[in-house]
Amino acid sequence: MTASFSLGWLPRAIILGLIAFAVFGPLANLAIWAFAEAWFFPSKLPSQWGFRFWEVVFRPTGRAMEALNVSVWIALLTVAVSLIVSIPAGLALARGRLPWRALIMLAFLLPQAFPSLPVYINVARIFYEFGLNGTVAGVVLVHTLHGLVFAVWITTAAFASVDKELEQAARNLGASGLRTFFTVTLPLAAPGIVASAIFVFLESLDEFTGSYFVGAPEIQTLPLTMFLASMGGNYQISSITALILLVPSIGFMLIVERFLKADVMAKIGN
Amino acid sequence: MNQSRGLSLLLVTPALIVVLALFVYPLGYSLISAFTDRAGAFSLENFDKAFELYLTDTIFTVVIIGVSTALIAAVSIAIGGYLTLGENKTAVAILAWLYRWPLFVPFIVAAQCMRTFLAKNGLMNNSLVSLGLMDVASTQSFLDWRGIIVTFVWKQAPFVTLMVAGAMASLDRSTIDAARNLGASRLRILAEIVVPQIRGTLMVGLILSFVTMMSVLSVPIMVSGGSPTMMTVDMAYRINSHGDYGVANALGFMSYLLTGAAAYFYLRQSVRDRSA
């Protein structure tokens, strides 16, 4: 280690330290609240630490556990519905001879180009007429719309990045179109499809606005429970609930690159 | 695998139905509702009322989201630029590891984090006081418009950075290396060679962020309780407290117009990319 090495590192270390504080500071504050049993102004840290509020949240009869259960079910159903419609759509958009392809791609871009909140308000009003308001099905449908845009984009990109020559080789060896799809195209596109499934799952798990208008108060998802706890001034409960929501998100961030390869990323939106 | 046109259309139909039923139809519904009075006749009274009650909030919304978008652009270019042009491999690796943490943090969790972090007695002020950079008397709460901007930038900058850094990484290195050999500074290479080439990606990222921020309800409610507030909060209030869909949809229409300009650039960009 030379002297210039350590000198050169000083400004770099300060800047990286500041960025680290900006990134992790808010998360650290959340973690502190999750373990704070007593924290009164103006002390800088809680006067009493502990797991008392964790016991409240994780109590089997607790509202948060019930909400987690509801949220996970809604997310799984949303993934199922999204994949069922987006895999065929992605295949057609990537490989098919689709008339008005640009127009159809535009239709899948549209929900991203408009603010969703005013649309959700009217979805809730329409669902009310069909008795879908305050039902799991209603929330799943809203989340599906939200996730579908990403699902279609990512699956289209995943199919587009599959080498056509491999499919051609399978066809030349006598495989049928359907067999080629299931033995060549689908397995090769699988990492991208898994990525889109995880993405849709997380989007559904974390979704707040649509659930707020369509689901509440009958359907209490985890984000809605967290919101109510926070607005009620119960920072411990809301921070613990927030940490539960963070676990899958951070987990996905750590593994996302394994599924979303650069060649798929480069084809998104094409 | 070549499919016939009919099969392709059949495959894409279910997804299209979802978009038509759950997006296009409610969107049309909101437009009609915005332009009709309670009797169902064409009228602009919803807009009169929306302007009268919420003009300040509309301006507030535009300023907050405009400033946030500008800051997100600056942060993403700075981080992406360092990741691409940085000479110290360790620092680049640390930064690449650091910046993306907020990426998948849900907005509502980000709002809860900031609600505590930016408070008068939050971790930010406490740390500054403990380091001796500030005294207790001069601490103030950032839980107002500034808090909303901080939350938006914290949450969205990593997303745009991810796109921008990806685009920068796939640039042709030879022009960059040539400029470097000719003695150009890294700042100049970033401004004159790198950024012009990734402008399309940057724009798409910023517009997606813009639209996302226009739809967030939790952050303005949880980070800044008071007035003025953002249009999303006003829309929720009109519905929940008054059942007033007319004014809520008029506000919704105004937010479509605001993002419409952004969407125009976005679509033009993607159409141009496709024809290129």
CB pairs under 8 A between A and B: 278
Query: How far is the C-alpha of B57 from the C-alpha of B55, rounded, in Å?
Result: 5
User: Which pair of tokens denotes residue A34?
Assistant: 């999750």
Task: Answer yes or no: are the C-beta atoms of A149 and A84 closer than 8 Å.
Answer: no
The pLDDT, as a whole number, for residue A182 is 87
Q: Please report residues of B whose CB lies closer than 8 A to that of A198.
A: none
The pLDDT, as a whole number, for residue B128 is 86
The pLDDT, as a whole number, for residue A161 is 85
Query: How far is the C-alpha of B218 from the C-alpha of B228, rounded, in Å?
Result: 15
pLDDT at residue A193 above 70? yes
Which region among A256-260, B61-65, B90-94, B166-170 has the lowest average model confidence (pLDDT)?
A256-260
Q: B269: which strand partners? A: none
Interval A169-189: pLDDT, tens: 888 888 888 888 888 888 888
Question: What is the pLDDT of chain B when averaged over all its residues?
Answer: 88
pLDDT at residue B115 above 50? yes
A89: nearest CB among B12, B94, B114:
B12
CA distance, residue A61 to nearest chain B CA (Å): 24
User: Which pair of tokens denotes residue B64?
Assistant: 């907050």
**C-beta atoms of A242 and B112 within 8 A:** yes
pLDDT at residue A81 above 90? yes
Of residues A2 and B193, the one with the higher pLDDT is B193
Task: Answer yes or no: are the C-beta atoms of A33 and A236 closer than 8 Å.
Answer: yes
Q: E strands along chain B, which residues? A: none
* Amino acid type, A178: L
Judged by a CB distance cut-off of 8 A, whether residue B159 touches chain A is no
The pLDDT, as a whole number, for residue B156 is 95
DSSP A132: -
Average pLDDT over residues B174-185: 89
User: Which pair of tokens denotes residue B274?
Assistant: 């496709």
Average pLDDT over residues B178-198: 90
pLDDT at residue B219 above 90? yes
Residues 192-251 of A with CB under 8 A from B: 202, 205-206, 208-209, 212-213, 223, 226-227, 230-231, 235, 238-239, 242, 245-246, 249-250
Q: Please report residues of A whose CB lies closer than 8 A to that of B208.
A: 112
Judged by a CB distance cut-off of 8 A, whether residue B138 touches chain A is no
Average pLDDT over residues B227-253: 91
Query: How far is the C-alpha of A269 from the C-alpha of B201, rounded, in Å?
Result: 11
Task: Answer yes or no: are the C-beta atoms of A72 and A205 closer than 8 Å.
Answer: yes
B108: nearest CB among A171, A227, A270:
A227
pLDDT at residue A138 above 70? yes
pLDDT at residue B88 above 90? no
Judged by a CB distance cut-off of 8 A, whether residue A162 touches chain B is no
**C-beta atoms of B248 and A121 within 8 A:** yes
Question: What is the pLDDT of chain A when averaged over all its residues?
Answer: 85
Query: Residue A218, SS3?
Result: coil
Task: Answer yes or no: are the C-beta atoms of B206 and A88 closer than 8 Å.
Answer: no
Residues 185-224 of B with CB under 8 A from A: 204, 207-208, 211, 214-218, 221-222
Of residues A146 and A97, the one with the higher pLDDT is A146
DSSP B3: P
Q: Please report residues of B whose CB lies closer than 8 A to that of A223.
A: 106, 108, 218
**C-beta atoms of A96 and B123 within 8 A:** no
Q: E strands along A6-108, which residues? A: 36-38, 48-49
Q: Please report residues of B whose CB lies closer than 8 A to that of A104.
A: 12, 16
The pLDDT, as a whole number, for residue A53 is 80
* Amino acid type, B211: V
pLDDT at residue A119 above 90? yes
Instruction: Give percent of chain A above pLDDT 70.
Output: 90
Here the contacts of B181-189 (C-beta below 8 Å, separation 24 or greater) are B186/B81, B186/B85, B189/B85
Residues 110-129 of A with CB under 8 A from B: 110-123, 125-126
* Amino acid type, A243: L
B11: nearest CB among A29, A91, A177:
A91
pLDDT at residue B79 above 80? yes
**C-beta atoms of A109 and B267 within 8 A:** yes
Judged by a CB distance cut-off of 8 A, whether residue A61 touches chain B is no
Which region among A198-207, B28-37, B118-127, B230-239 has the lowest average model confidence (pLDDT)?
B118-127
- The residue length of chain A stands at 270
The pLDDT, as a whole number, for residue B76 is 96
pLDDT at residue B260 above 60? yes
Average pLDDT over residues B224-230: 83
